[in-house]
Each structure stands twice: as C-alpha cells, then as structure tokens.
A and B are shown apart, each in its own frame.
Chain A
Amino acid sequence: MLAATSDDREFNSFTLYADMSEVFAGRSSRPGAKFNFSRNIMILDIEPQEKEDFSLFAGAGVSAGWVQDYGRQGFGVAAALSGSFGANLAFPERHILITVAATLEAGPWIHKDKGEYNMFLYRSGIYQGIYPHISISYLFR
C-alpha cells in the first residue's frame, strides 16, 4: 500500500511480503512473511508522457518478519533497516502502477536451535538487494 503525503514528492509504502526466496530456490516448501515500512522521496518526476507517468524514488525504512535465511535451516525473526531505490511507472487511466525497485536490508536474524537463541546477520536481506523486485499495484485515484 502506498500513501502519499501532503507533499506529493514524498510517499509512504506499507508492504506485506510472502518471502519466497528459499521456496523458489527449491530449498524449502514453506514461505515466510515479512512486513516493510518505507518513507520514500521522488527524486525525478518526468512530465507525463501520453498516458504514463514515470518517476524515480529512493527511500529508507524498516522490515520485520518470520523468514528463512540463505544457507540456514529453519525459520527465524528478522528485523532490519531497509534502503530502497526504484522507478514508478503509473498509468492513471488504467489505475495501474508498476514499480521496479531494489531493496537492501541490514539487520539480525534470530533463530532458535535446540532451545538456544542464536543471532546471525540476515544474509538474505543483503543478497536479495541485487535482485530488483517488480510490483503491480492498483491505483485507487
């Protein structure tokens, strides 16, 4: 969910993810769940071309979730600071927004193993930073 502020150059994004990284890699059959809040600023807004509106944005935020980590067994709690950079392509007449962005997350991953809690660096948050994610959103206005 994207929520614009009174200044149209800033917007907040609230995203709930199904963490599929280990599922797509074939190493797990269960996805995790992760929530991200990000405060974003438009750094470039190109004048509307015909029916599409293109802009670049960057933002910072926080992520937290119950996820698996790269190369490790089992689920754990991840809490991380996030940084995003991406592009929005909006089609107001069709009420569709396409976003391509890369998000880097840095923080701990806490995992319980044999009754003990262990804390590791959340590797997936860094490794997945090189893979852009594409999202398709519905514009209510």
Chain B
Amino acid sequence: MKRVLSILLLILCCSLVAAQEARRPAFRWGLEWGYGVTAFKYWSVNYLDSSVGYRVWDENHAFQAKSTAFACICVGADVSRKANLSMQLGMMGIDKDREVIPVGIRFNYSFRGTDADGPMAFFGGGLGFPDHFTTAAVHYANIGGGYRIRLSSLWDIDFLATFRLCDDHPPVRDPESGEYVNESNIRKNVTAYCSLALGVAITL
C-alpha cells in the first residue's frame, strides 16, 4: 500500500512539474505599417513678437482630418503564453508636415494565445524624435486591438486598430509675417493630437 501511494505521489509530482515548466520566451520580430487620421488637435502657444515687442498668445482646438502614416520595426519576446512585450522603431506622421522617429514599447495580449488565431489588445507608448526645428521629443501613447491570423509556425499577420494621443512642440509660424518664430522667443508651445489608425503587422 505504501509503495502504491509512493508511486502515485511521484506521478502527481511529475505532472505538477510538467505543468509548471518555465516557458522560454519566444523572440519575435516584425514589420508594422498603417494609415491614420489625426482627428483632433489642441494647441497653446505663447511667444514674443520681436518686431513689435508684444506677446502673442493663441490657445484653441479643432477637429480635423489630416492623413498620416506610420511604419516601424518591432522586436520583442513572449513573456507568457498570451502576452508579448516589444520595442518599436520607425517613422510616424503625426500631423501635416510633422513626422517623427518613434521609439517605444508595447504590451500585447492575445486572448487565445500568441500562437493561435484570435483577437488581441495592446497598449504602449514612447518618445518621438523630430528631425528638424527642435530637439524636444514628442510623447505618445496608444491603445488598441486587432486580430491575429497564424500563417504558419513561424509567421503571423495582425490586423490592428489604434487610438493614439500625442503631444508635440511644432514650429510656430507668425500669421502676420509668415515667418517661423525664433525658438528663443517662444515661452510656451504645446500641441496635442488624437488620431486613429489602421495597420497591419507581419511578425516572425
């Protein structure tokens, strides 16, 4: 009887060990691109007009439809059977004549597992580095969802919808002179965007 119980206990222990065996993180990399619309813009600008010596203050918001696009490379790892953490680097348009180089992270949760077809949700954020005018980085955060199709044991394709919030410090143009205001004369320059984007990601 003791022997039977010992054998049963050993079998149970083996099962528990097998169930709790640590999953090695699966390294993934991919390419993501998409098209979006910047639908809402808020700005607050305060600068000194050096030609006449008075301060200009402009604060307002507007609903708009400015087309943007993005493309990025994603590198990450599966932290669990359903979750993935990745870093992104690429190019992203945030408004008319404004594009940045985003560097960010994203947490992705696949409801049926990262290795299966099914819906997914994600959130993330990071910094965007403009290529001209100012070195101040753009901050962005996004949230969204999508659907994954498992093409093979190596390839996946994701169809994604993203809502993005972004704050920027774009060049300020004086409406009367048409010239860009010198950065040393700007006391406050904050612009925020809300955008919606549809994208596709192919991951390996």
Contact = CB atoms under 8 A, between A and B. Distances in A.
Given A20-B35, A24-B67, A26-B66, A52 B155 contact: yes
Interface stretch (B92-100, B164-172, B184-192): B92-100
A43 interface: no
Contacts of A23: 67, 69
Interface residues of A, number: 17
A98 interface: yes
Contacts, number: 52
Interface band, chain B = 20 to 34
A51 B202 CA distance: 16
Q: Give the secondary structure class of B's interface.
A: strand
A24 B35 CA distance: 8
Contact of A91 (B33, B68, B99, B151): B151
A6 B204 CA distance: 33
A73 to B, nearest CB: 15
27 contacts: A20-B67, A20-B69, A23-B67, A23-B69, A26-B66, A26-B67, A26-B93, A26-B95, A26-B96, A27-B97, A29-B65, A29-B66, A29-B67, A50-B153, A51-B153, A52-B152, A52-B154, A52-B155, A91-B151, A91-B152, A91-B155, A94-B150, A96-B149, A98-B157, A98-B202, A134-B202, A136-B157
